[in-house]
Chain A
Amino acid sequence: MTHRDTLLVEEGEILGHQAHPGEQFILRLKAPRIAQRARAGSFVHIECHPLLPMRRPLSIMRAEPAAGWIELLYRAFGAGTRLLSAHGAGTRLSLIGPIGRPFAPHPERPRALLLGGGVGIPPMIFLAEEMRRRGGYSPLVLMGSEVPFPFTTRPSQILVSGIPEGTIAAMPLMDDWGIPSRLSSLQGYPGCFHGYVTDLARRWLAALTPAQRGEVEIFACGPHPMLEAAARLARDYALPCQVSLEEFMACAVGGCAGCTVRILTADGPAMKRVCVDGPVFDAATVVF
């Protein structure tokens, strides 16, 4: 099913632009119309600098329709995102959005396991917030990063069974929302699980009863190897799993077929566009 909603072109005004360690930035933009329509998993195609010929696709981390803003988290690692990071409050940047097929959680599986790795964290935060607003879900958010997390971590006030002892670091915003979260890294950050986020997820899943596992659905966004591990985890436990994919992108509206990934369909292998056929795909159909 291709994303067919109307795509908006909106001038977004920078309200705030925070730098975090590891060249990470949180960009808050006033973009009321996109904020109104954004869903967890959708993204914007943002103008980074008028002298660059291409925009950059960035996942939406949060959208506050009432206040009319959206928030993006990105890492400055190329020409475009470096130029983007130099813009201050008041700058206006053109946005195309919200783009893409969002996550579609199944209500009959309320134990949502949200896995975010690095710059794949933003849509997981959005999904957690969406589940909180919608009600009826009990998500657990696990996030992994090999650079310092773009927020101050703190010991969680919410107990989660099946999580190894000492793995107590959490994202404060999640705690404030009453959503349990835990963090993982190979960097030895205090309170974080030492390992991959998918290893932590496996430990948690292993501790559930079969009946509890029957209520789990996995959602993941992050680097390719992490998504592959998430898909494997889902397969091992026969769980549904939705992954959000990334690929180099040109038009972002489905016109150029530049951002395709290999997907298995009923008619055989197909090249599907991340921008409008995704970015969210059923992990079981992705050819990693």
Chain B
Amino acid sequence: MGGQAVNQDDKRALELDFCGMRFATPLVLLSGCVGFGEEYTRVEGFSNRDVGAVCLKGTTLHPRLGNPPHRVTETPMGMLNAIGLQNPGAHHVVREILPRLDFSETRFIANVSGSTVEEYVEVTRIFDDSPIDAMEINISCPNVKEGGVQFGNDPAMSARVVEACRAVTDKPLITKLSPNQTDIAENARRCIEAGTDAFAVINTLTGMAIDVEQRTPIIGNNQGGLSGPAIKPIAVLKVHQVYQVCRAHGVPIIGQGGVCSAEDALEFLIAGATAVGVGTGLFYDPLLCPKINAGIAAYLKRHGLSEVGQLTGTLRLNGQTVCA
């Protein structure tokens, strides 16, 4: 699957509406993997036009240097990272970076991060007054001491952050959910009540790798977030669980976690995702997106489907479900 050319019919079949935004394809480049949207465009053959949207690097109110090295390490079929939200601050992003982006190519989504509810609100307000197309509320970053996953693991706190951000913007809000919590569906329900327009499911899982000779964690931050193919089955299940809540409300999901092929992307769509995030997979193959697009288009044709949206949530469970 993959490798075929995408013709005009395929292009139409891959288009979709996501919270009122037109996505050229169901693919979304994930926050933290593609800088502020420019870096990968220097790779010959790469184009932001191959994706529906690009999520920019997590942005806080003030600049952050991030965590000490090592920030990444490979693990079986995955990688751990603890970047620590290195970013130049929301004002710099809006003033210096957004004007350089080509908004005719794709949709750009800001990733709003913070240590306090007030900071989330202030960053949301700054991006609200900018050309950014949408905002992703990052209440699931596992690599910062305050905020991030502390908020995301508590449904009440998650809802508070969403509600506060909702109050200051009419732009689409996408809440990025953490897999490091007991009941992701309950959290999703609370966030919908609080006014989220969509979800990104999932952020990384917390993990640790140890240098046995030194007896120290390999990652400078001691623990990091696990991504890559190793987490894909977890992510697919979480999308399925969150979809059970979202379906009735028409709230779309960006399914993400270890996507490296068209088959992976199809799994997420069938589980309930409307769009599919690509992150770690890009590190191995920077030209992955057109291959996934071609693979999805071929699948749609083979199954007699005229648009990718028809796939969302078409999972047929085997007999009795094992999960509520």
Contact = CB atoms under 8 A, between A and B. Distances in A.
Given A53-B229, A96-B286, A271-B86, A254 B71 contact: no
> Among the interface residues A5, A258, A271, which one has the most CB atoms of the partner chain B within 10 A?
A258
A258 B83 contact: yes
Contacts of B283: 53-55, 250-252, 255-256
A211 interface: no
Interface stretch (B40-48, B115-123, B144-152, B173-181): B40-48
Given A53-B79, A53-B228, A96-B286, A254 B39 contact: yes
B44 A7 contact: yes
B101 to A, nearest CB: 14
Contact of A270 (B65, B71, B230, B280): B65
Contacts of A249: 72
Interface in B8-55: 32-35, 39-40, 42-45
A8 interface: yes
A279 to B, nearest CB: 14
Interface residues of B, number: 36
Nearest to B77: A53
Given A7-B42, A96-B43, A258 B66 contact: no
B15 to A, nearest CB: 25
Interface in A87-126: 94, 96
Given A94-B285, A257-B57, A270-B65, A53 B280 contact: yes
A261 interface: yes
A248 B71 contact: yes
Contacts, number: 106
Interface string A246-288: 0111111111111111100000011100001000000000000
A53 B284 contact: yes
Contacts of A258: 71-72, 81, 83
Nearest to A252: B283
A168 to B, nearest CB: 36
Nearest to B285: A94
A114 B156 CA distance: 60
Interface string B72-91: 11100111010100100000
Contacts of A66: none
Contacts of B301: none
B44 A9 contact: yes
A54 B285 contact: no
B66 A271 contact: yes
A86 interface: no
B70 interface: yes
B282 interface: yes
A166 B284 CA distance: 48
B287 interface: yes
A47 interface: yes
A1 interface: no
> Among the interface residues B68, B72, B230, B280, which one has the most CB atoms of the partner chain A within 10 A?
B72
A55 B44 contact: no
B78 A53 contact: yes
Contact of A271 (B34, B45, B65, B79): B65
A9 B79 CA distance: 22
Interface string B164-193: 000000000000000000000000000000
B97 to A, nearest CB: 13
Nearest to B282: A251
Interface in A215-262: 247-262
A173 B174 CA distance: 59
A255 B286 CA distance: 11
Contact of B43 (A9, A79, A256): A9
Interface in A117-156: none
Given A4-B42, A5-B42, 8 more contacts: A53-B74, A53-B77, A54-B79, A248-B71, A250-B72, A250-B79, A255-B283, A260-B86
Interface of A: 4-9, 47, 51-55, 79-80, 94, 96, 247-262, 269-271, 276
18 contacts: A9-B286, A53-B77, A54-B283, A55-B283, A96-B43, A247-B69, A250-B72, A250-B79, A250-B81, A251-B286, A254-B42, A255-B33, A256-B32, A256-B72, A257-B57, A260-B66, A271-B65, A271-B86
